[in-house]
Structure 1
Amino acid sequence: MTETLLLALVVVTALAFDFTNGFHDTGNAMATSIATRALKPKTAVLLSAVLNLVGAFLSLAVAATIAKGIVDAGVVTLPVVLAGLVGGIVWNLITWLFGIPSSSSHALVGGMVGAVLAAVGTSGVLWTGVVSKVLVPALVAPLVAIAVAGAGTWLVARLTRGVPQEVSNRGFRWGQIGSASLVSLAHGTNDAQKSMGIILLALIAGGAVPADSGVPFWVILSCALAMAAGTYLGGWRVIRTLGKGLVEIDTRQGMAAETSSAAVILLSSHFGFSLSTTHVATGSVLGSGVGMPGAKVRWGVASRMFVAWLITLPAAGLVGALCHWMESAIGGAAGTIAVFVVLIASSAAIWLASRRKPVDHTNVNEAWDEEKGATVEAVAATTGEAGGERVAPVPAAATASSVGAAIESVGTVSVPAQGSVQS
């Protein structure tokens, strides 16, 4: 009975991670289409949700990588899986709170690796798989995306010289809808599978399926639905940073960026790489700015994002390790339940902090002011009120001092006052 309860908690937590992955990564597909107004915000997230759902059924290569290519399934227990998932979820929520496009994939891998290290030491981690399937793609993918998007944008700019802007915008908006749809489909083929892999790992650890089992259909369906639901919720804070914070994008750049992202993500899914779609999408947006003559790239915003990328694996790993130590200290099912309660409390605290200055479909396209995103004090001194956003420290158990301090140094997201409405 206890084992069944623990397995149920792990499955629910894995689906919760899929949900956070959905709204955290919606911007990867739809931020540029929303920024250029090729699609209305609510229409964009609905379209992305449907295509994420479809994409989840198209490939299972990444699920196999997560389940059997990162950690030794033979030493993994249900408490270890739960601790790793909590590490991934908490990091997802913290970076979402600050509007930082961070990798859900690396948060999950970091959480799992940290929990396994705390449980059995370095022998439980398949370091070859971590390096070849996670770290190498993490370094290469953004660079490839920047190069591909930069070349594509430059070519499009050359071909459309002399074409009236209103004519160009009309044609490329339709192109953006198609390319953004392709990114959403590609995202489903890659990211939805990560929770499938984790649930399969839990089922193996709990003895529900044999070690050589494939992913059951009910796991595929539930993960696809959780991802789609999170996508429809819309990660507006991250969408705003990707769509407005890095580059002022026009429809030509948007189409080039989205097409580049889709190509790189689909290629990685084919080879089973646990790729960060966030890294690819961000690289493509930066490439669209590099390749467009006269475009301004906000490298200050990009550098803060890069810092967050560097600390994602160790930060999520630290949370996963601390959660496993808590489980061990309390002992038995009580320790696992305690970690689950901490996850709920932390998530609630982060959500309440986000309500202080909400970002949604009504203000996601407000003009970006980098100075407003710097500090609340600077804005208050000139306007008399906090036009930017500052978020109180997150009381998330083990993350409040270590992880919270790291994120505070990365920066905050600019949220202008809600004056104009984008329907």
Structure 2
Amino acid sequence: MVTTLLVIVIIMAIAFDYINGFHDAANSIATVVSTKVLSPFHAVLWAALFNFAAYFYFDDHKVANTVAKTVVENYITIHVILAGLIAAISWNLLTWYYGIPSSSSHTLIGGFAGAGVTYAMLNGATAADALNLGYVVKIVSFIVLAPIIGMLISIVITLIIVNLSRWSKPSTAEKWFKALQLLSSAALSFTHGGNDAQKVMGIIFVALVANGVVNSSDPMPEWIPLVCYGAISLGTMSGGWRIVKTMGTKITKVTPLEGVAAETAGAITLGITEHFAIPVSTTHTITGSIIGVGVTKRMSAVRWGVTINLVWAWVLTIPVSALLASGIYLIFNLFL
């Protein structure tokens, strides 16, 4: 049965996807803008195009399934989902305002889990009862693994490119790498869309299940991925200029060659994790990749003070989002 509250949840989920788009736009366009390959306006159009193109390729919805199963079905209610979404949107907007490239993925998962655990504990269960720990451990472990994998792949790619092009004229090489950066940024935007849009798809689907509109064994209605990919693409077109500055200039100075390496490494990492149904953070992944290209020059090329601040934001995202969602759910429990 479609209720007013279900409609509100779906609208908020789509709004989160839109916010995810402009919050994470920097992941795809920061290096291509900082190297002046594209203007900011053309860069967001380019990224949005490939965000949406992912709709036609990623049709297995494996990442969406992982997100949907983070909380045990018995402890998912429409109020749990709404509390998680409000917490996730709040944290995303706060970190965007301060230019902190935190993970939209982890704030959504943290909010969903926090509200689910609170509901379970109010009904005499435990956190372990409410969470599918196998899925949770997989997600949490990749907070660490995703940036490390991205960094290692970017180091390897950078070293290969540097050795292959060492006899090239600098001006000729830069021209080629600026052209290649269009391809690498497109690949990153494509995998970003495929990874991040699916997370909201999972949330909308469990909302339909919680409201009895569909069964958990039913296939996902086709309108859900279409709307989610459209929302994240429109959000990307809106840009995220505060975070672009952090990603494109504050971590390390990026050349076209290094932009190609970082974006390619990020795209490869996201492609691998999507294949294994792991909802990783695009933000963590590309940050690790940018650090990797900086390390290949020298350790001091990376602004480690900025990086440490980013890591703190990563560490805090899930617990803060979970606590916010828990508080919001407790308020719902009192008044609704």
Structure 1 length-normalised TM: 0.76
Divergent runs of 4+, >3 A: none
Residue 94 of structure 1: aligned partner: 94
Report matched runs for 1:122-137 at 5 Å: 122=127, 123-132=129-138, 134-137=139-142
Deviations 1:64-102 (A, max 9, x none): 11112x101222110110000111111111111111111
Deviation at 1:163, TM superposition (A): 2.9
What aligned pairs does 1:408-419 form with structure 2 within 5 A after superposition? none
Q: In structure 2, do the counterparts of structure 1 residues 254 and 295 end up closer, same or farther at CA, with 3 Å as the change threshold?
A: farther
Equivalent-residue separation in structure 1 for 2:23 and 2:216 (angstroms): 31
Alignment partner of 1:272 is 2:277: yes
Give the CA deviation at 1:141. Answer: 1.2
Which of 263, 266, 269 is residue 261 of structure 1 equivalent to?
A: 266
Equivalent AA in structure 2 for residue 103 of structure 1: S
Instruction: Tell whether the 8 Å contact from 2:87 to 2:325 is kept in structure 1 after alignment.
Output: yes
Deviations 1:297-339 (A, max 9, x none): 11110000001001000001111111101101112xxxxxxxx
Report what 1:311 is aligned to: 316
Report what 1:234 is aligned to: 239
Counterparts of 1:99-178 in structure 2, within 5 Å, are: 99-121=99-121, 122=127, 123-132=129-138, 134-178=139-183
After superposition, the Cα gap between the structure-2 partners of 1:294 and 1:169, relative to the gap in structure 1 and judged at 3 Å, is farther
Q: Decide whether the 8 Å contact of 1:286 with 1:297 is kept in 2.
A: yes
CA drift at 1:233: 0.2
Match of 1:413 in 2: none
**CA drift at 1:294:** 8.3
1:387-414: CA deviation from partner (whole Å, max 9, x where unpaired):
xxxxxxxxxxxxxxxxxxxxxxxxxxxx
Instruction: In structure 2, give the amino acid aligned to 1:124.
Output: A
1:252 pairs with one of 247, 251, 257: 257
The aligned counterpart of 1:374 is: none
Q: Is the Cα–Cα contact under 8 Å of residues 157 and 261 in structure 2 kept in the other structure? A: yes
Q: Which runs of 5+ in 1 are unaligned?
A: 332-423
C-alpha displacement at 1:161, in angstroms?
A: 2.6
Would you tell me which structure has more helix in proportion to its own residues? 2
Letter in 1 for 2:258: Q
1:299 aligned residue (300, 304, 308): 304
For 2:68, the equivalent position in structure 1 comes to 67
Residue number in structure 2 paired with 1:338: none
1:329 matched residue in structure 2: 334
Do the aligned partners of 1:30 and 1:45 also contact (CA within 8 Å) in 2? yes
Distance 1:203 1:26 in 2: 29
Structure 1 residue 9 corresponds to structure 2 residue 14:
no
Match of 1:185 in 2: 190
Shift of 1:293: 5.2
The equivalent residue for 1:78 is 78
Query: Is the partner of 1:249 in helix, strand or coil?
Result: coil
Give the distance between the partners of 1:82 and 1:31, measured in 2 at CA.
32
Shift of 1:140: 1.0
Aligned counterparts of 1:230 and 1:197: Cα–Cα separation in 2:
19
- Taking the TM superposition and a 5 Å limit, the aligned residue runs for 1:37-48 are 37-48=36-47
Shift of 1:162: 4.5
Judge conservation of contact 1:153–1:292 (CA < 8 Å) in 2: no
Within 2, Cα distance between the matches of 1:294 and 1:274?
30
Contact 2:247 2:287 in 1 (8 A): yes
State the shift of 1:295 in Å: 7.0
Contact 2:71 2:132 in 1 (8 A): yes
Task: For 1:314-393, list aligned pairs within 5 A.
Answer: 314-331=319-336
Find the aligned partners of 1:225 and 1:146 in 2 and give their Cα distance.
30
> How big is the shift at 1:239?
1.0
Q: Is the 8 Å Cα contact of residues 143 and 314 (structure 2) preserved in structure 1?
A: no
Q: Which amino acid aligns with 2:153?
A: V
Is the contact made by 1:67 and 1:201 (CA closer than 8 Å) also made in structure 2? yes
* Deviations, residues 132-173 of structure 1 (Å, cap 9, x unaligned): 2x0122211111111111121122223333433221111000
**In the aligned structure 2, how far is the partner of 1:293 from the partner of 1:161?**
18
Q: Is the 8 A contact 1:248 1:295 kept in 2?
A: no
CA distance in 1, matches of 2:66, 2:209: 15
Deviations 1:325-368 (A, max 9, x none): 1101112xxxxxxxxxxxxxxxxxxxxxxxxxxxxxxxxxxxxx
